[in-house]
Amino acid sequence: MNRRFFLTRSLAAAGSVLLDAHAQPSAEASLLNRGVTSGSEGASHSMPASELSHVSFPEGFLWGIATAAYQVEGAWKEDGRGESIWDRFAHTAGKVKGGDTGDIACDFYHRYREDIQIMKRLNQKSCRFSIAWPRIQASGTGGPNPKGLDHYSRFVDALLEAGIRPLCTIYHWDMPQRLEDRGGWTNRDMVSVFADYAEIVTKALGDRITTWAIFNEPSAFTYLGYGIGVHAPGRKGEELRAAHHVNLAQGEAFRAIKAACSKAQVGSSLSMYPATPRSNSEADLAAAERFNAKTNLFFLDTAMRGEYPQAFVGEPPYDLMGFQPGDGKLMQAQFDWIGITYYGRRIVYDPGPTVEPKSLRFAVEWPSEGPLTYNGWEVWPRGIYDVVMQVANRYRMPIEITENGCSYSDGPKADGRVPDLRRISFHRAHLGELLGAIRDGAPVRGYHAWSLLDNFEWADGYSQRFGLTWVDFRDQRRIVKDSGQWYGRVAGSNLLVE
């Protein structure tokens, strides 16, 4: 297998491909203050296995599921929806594995009531979903599309009727193509345009939705879409400018949401992976610091502190970013909560002094000490403890796990069941580590498994199955996998059952 192309949510930091032609792309690094994990520190921080099933999660813990509009909705031309950058990208030959598109996906646009009933049967208390920007503004500007707003209004009402909290992500990668034609995230005008869109959505739904995520994994869509071009919109070498504008948009959208709905609790969903230095050399330790600063802190310190992280700003490439006086204040967004998506760790090292600026001098290797999932990602449960504790210690505010999951190819057997024991083992191990973090004082209030359904996995198309529910993409038949049934028992009991 060529892991260089397993990039669906495995995000390399800027230096990993640009600095080392032999390095494999990383997933987004973890949030680390100073500390980094070494290869010898893989021991579990969870409770002993014999105790796990007897320890309750906190009262009111939000057991949830995660989805994203382009990955599940389909209905790509219905009810006034405009073209998104992922529509254009997926319809371009050679961009998505197997020529797959999100035109139909899981047909969630038409079948959401059926899927909400699955959530209800699985005792889910929270659904993280996203709004498709092109459904609200076909071209990205102007007045809202009433049919688009009505769809999400009905969806939110259906969630609430089922006793499920709606957690709305405002941007999960599907920008209207017309905005990309004007430069997309490399165009500073996007800052105010995005804030206007956030205001429209909040005014329409803020009477029923109180928990909002502004962005999903900004390190992902800026690096993959504007850095190396393997995701929509497929541009290269423009990551830093795009990322800086996203930081500005995050701050402006935060203020727009708060102005439109005073009771809104606002955060963002950020990918975090612990960085393991390849050696204990000072050079590799410093490279791991830069890796961490460039990927995780780049979108979090900016919001919470109005500045780029110290390890990054030693030699800031502000000219490449388009940084202007006063931008620090514009970036600020005093989040009410922080969302963490976790999929594994990465090995980081210093590739040598030939790379400038120094703030981008790091390279990344894919680890394989732990077992590998179907798409080649290492299973490393310990990392979820590490990143949660780092966020808890640095920011001391409510945390929700907004994504955690794995790809395995298990399908239905003759009896109609989908016995995916490896996925059960994956979630149980990660939840055990999460219990350890909660025991050690981390204010974690929710966990969202990725994902409710097997779905369109970006550049990997339908070749990877992350769902707790198996989907037959020929006829949209759904079968809750054994892992889904197990997760439902966990959610119903608030215990980490066998």
In angstroms, the CA 404 to CA 476 distance is 24
The distance between the two most distant Cα atoms of the chain, rounded to a whole number of Å, is 65
Band (356; pLDDT cuts 50, 70, 90): confident
Residue 217 is a catalytic residue: yes
Q: Contact, 84 vs 70, CB < 8 A?
A: yes
In angstroms, the CA 28 to CA 118 distance is 31
Band (32; pLDDT cuts 50, 70, 90): very low
pLDDT at 38 over 50: no
Q: In residues, how long is the chain?
A: 498
pLDDT at 379 over 90: yes
Specify the CATH number of the domain 3-493.
3.20.20.80
In sign, the C-alpha dihedral spanning 110, 91, 271, 192 is: negative
> Catalytic one among 199, 217, 252, 457?
217
Q: Mean pLDDT across the stretch 252-264?
A: 97
CB atoms within 10 A of CB 307: 15
CB atoms within 10 A of CB 354: 7
pLDDT at 58 over 60: yes
State how far the alpha carbon of 87 is from the alpha carbons of 31, 108, 186, 422, 475, in Å: 32, 17, 20, 33, 22
Q: Tell me the helix, strand and coil percentages in the chain, rounded to 5.
A: 40, 15, 45
State how far the alpha carbon of 456 is from the alpha carbons of 8, 105, 138, 171, in Å: 10, 6, 22, 17
Q: What local confidence, expressed as pLDDT, does residue 48 receive?
A: 67
3-state secondary structure of 447: strand
Structure tokens at 379: 């299973």
Structure tokens at 119: 């959530």
Question: What mean pLDDT, rounded, does the chain reach?
Answer: 90
Measured at the alpha carbon of residue 373, what is the angle toward residues 372 and 377, in degrees to the nearest 5? 70
Burial 203-229 (b: 16+ CB within 10 A, else e): bbbbeebbbbbbbbbbbbbbbbbbbbb
Q: What local confidence, expressed as pLDDT, does residue 49 receive?
A: 64
**DSSP letter, residue 89:** H
3-state secondary structure of 350: coil
Q: What local confidence, expressed as pLDDT, does residue 279 receive?
A: 97
3-state secondary structure of 390: helix
3-state secondary structure of 231: coil
**Phi-psi domain of 99 (left: phi exceeds 0; alpha: psi -120 through 50; beta: other):** left
Chain segment 418-477, per-residue pLDDT in tens? 999 999 999 999 999 999 999 999 999 999 999 999 999 999 999 999 999 999 999 999
Closest C-alpha among 173, 174, 177, 155 to residue 164: 155
Q: To which residue do tokens 């394989």 refer?
A: 368
- In this prediction the pTM is 0.91
Count of CA atoms in the C-beta half-sphere (13 A) of 223: 28
Residue 403 is a catalytic residue: yes
> Catalytic one among 73, 239, 365, 403?
403
